């Protein structure tokens, strides 16, 4: 087990991507910790998907912060690609912990929009690393992705596996983040931990994700396309489990120590955070439909088979994602455990309430 070395009390934390799905949930969870701390959120609130959903998440945070005056919460609207802005925030706050969740998301979008991935995921992350070098932090935690495993055939995916075969630019940028972080950890002794997230879902999630997009289409009476003829397996991970993992990791930076040559051994780690229980897309669609019906989002007599079509694999996709979370469990005594049905039920109820169905 890794010992917790950073107590959150009276710490100053930067969360980038704080209007995003995981970022907003992380901020809310930190506020609920009930201890005094300063939390700074940074996000450019771009229009990759419905901005009103991002504003909704920010509103939820503001409401929670008002009820918890021990938290000093401030939101900054801006991009991590803006080096001057990033540097100014580090100079002002001298962060103890940085959690970089800001990134251009989406595998398929990267095929036609490469520029935004380089700007955010490469230049933006470089700016964060440079700021951590100039204004030393106790721990940098950053989002990687299960996409780095690319076309690997061995499952479950282990952090010991080689990840040299990305099948999308998005995956390549996430792998580059891990390489950059390792170099900065080695050169400047910056404790850093990368987290490879596996298919995160839940209430107020991203509309470009399958469960959300499928729901929108089914509600309009449209037909959904199930890729690889439904044979894909996905390690769906509920957002609360992701956030729990992030908070545990935040407080336990890799140890700084020197090697036999007297030089620093990189204080660097990477973990998978996944449910460790892959589900077929056909089962996923069936459970989603059942929970949408139970939540009265879809009518009781809704026939999912009449509104779904099996189609071939799409570019940039992989047939299976499956996380080996043994290191996470060994080091932190934690592994995601929310069932797909439980998570989709929470999403369906949120969807009904949010869209006032």
Closest to 237 (Cα-Cα) out of 313, 342, 326: 342
Burial of 69 (0-12, 13-18, 19+ CB in 10 A): exposed
Q: Does residue 211 contact residue 347 with C-beta atoms inside 8 Å?
A: yes
Q: Is 188 a catalytic residue?
A: no
H/E segment holding residue 81: none
Q: How far apart are the first and last CA of the chain?
A: 46
DSSP secondary structure, 205-262, as one string: --TTSHHHHHHHHHHTTPPEEEGGGGT-EE--EEHHHHHHHHHHHHT-PPPPEE-TTS
Phi, psi of 42, rounded to the nearest 5 degrees:
-130, 130
Which listed residue (117, 170, 211, 271) is catalytic?
A: 170
Query: Please, where are the H alpha helices in the chain?
Result: 21-31, 51-67, 83-93, 109-112, 114-117, 125-134, 169-188, 210-219, 239-250, 281-294, 326-332, 340-354
The pair of structure tokens assigned to 266 is 């990189």
Q: Does residue 252 contact residue 331 with C-beta atoms inside 8 Å?
A: yes
Give the chain's length: 357
Closest to 184 (Cα-Cα) out of 102, 125, 225, 237: 125
Helix (H, G, I), strand (E, B) or coil at 163: coil
Phi, psi of 298, rounded to the nearest 5 degrees:
-110, 150
Task: List active site positions.
Answer: 170
């Amino acid at each position: 087990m890794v010992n917790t070395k950073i107590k959150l009390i009276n710490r100053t934390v930067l969360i980038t991507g704080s209007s995003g799905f995981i970022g907003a949930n992380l901020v809310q969870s930190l506020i609920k910790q009930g201890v005094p701390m300063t939390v700074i959120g940074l996000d450019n609130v771009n229009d990759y998907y419905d901005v009103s959903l991002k504003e909704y998440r920010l509103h939820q945070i503001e409401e929670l912060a008002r009820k918890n005056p021990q938290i000093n919460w401030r939101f900054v609207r801006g991009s991590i690609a803006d080096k001057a802005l990033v540097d100014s925030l580090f100079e002002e706050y001298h962060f103890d912990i940085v959690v970089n969740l800001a990134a251009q998301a989406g595998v398929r979008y990267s095929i036609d929009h490469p520029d935004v991935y380089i700007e955010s995921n490469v230049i933006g992350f470089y700016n964060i690393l440079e700021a951590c070098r100039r204004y030393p932090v106790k721990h940098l935690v950053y989002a990687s992705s299960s996409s780095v495993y690319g076309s690997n055939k061995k499952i479950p995916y282990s952090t010991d596996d080689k990840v040299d075969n990305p099948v999308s630019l998005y995956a390549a940028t996430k792998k580059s983040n891990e390489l950059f972080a390792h170099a900065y950890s080695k050169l400047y002794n910056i404790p850093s931990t990368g987290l490879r997230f596996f298919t995160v879902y839940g209430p107020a999630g991203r509309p470009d994700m399958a469960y959300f997009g499928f729901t929108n289409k089914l509600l309009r009476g449209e037909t959904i396309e199930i890729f690889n003829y439904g044979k894909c397996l996905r390690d769906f991970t509920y957002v609360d489990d992701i956030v729990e993992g992030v908070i545990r990791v935040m407080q336990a930076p890799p140890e700084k120590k020197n090697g036999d040559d007297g030089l620093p051994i990189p204080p660097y780690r990477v973990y998978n955070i996944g449910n460790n229980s892959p589900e077929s897309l056909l089962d996923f669609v069936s459970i989603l439909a059942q929970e949408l019906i139970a939540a009265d989002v879809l009518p009781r007599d809704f026939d999912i088979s009449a509104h779904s079509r099996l189609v071939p694999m799409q570019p940039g996709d992989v047939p299976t994602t499956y996380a080996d979370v043994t290191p996470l469990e060994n080091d932190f005594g934690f592994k995601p455990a929310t069932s797909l049905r439980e998570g989709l039920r929470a999403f369906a109820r949120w969807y009904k309430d949010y869209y006032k169905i």
